[in-house]
Amino acid sequence: MVEYQSPHLDAVFHALSDPTRRAMLHRLSAGKHSVSQLAEPFDMSLAGASKHVKVLEAAGLVSRHVEGRTHYCRLEAARLAEAQAWFRYYERFWSDRLDALQNILEAEDRQKPPAEKG
What proportions of the chain, in percent to the nearest 5, are helix, strand and coil? 60, 10, 25
- Structure pTM? 0.73
Least confident of 46-50, 73-77, 80-84: 80-84
User: Which residues, at least 6 apart from 32, have a Cβ–Cβ distance to it below 8 Å?
Assistant: 72, 73, 74
Residue 118 has pLDDT above 60, yes or no: no
For residue 117, the model assigns a pLDDT of: 56
Report yes or no: 11 and 60 within 8 Å, Cβ to Cβ.
Answer: yes
Domain 1-118 class?
mainly alpha
Mean pLDDT of the chain: 88
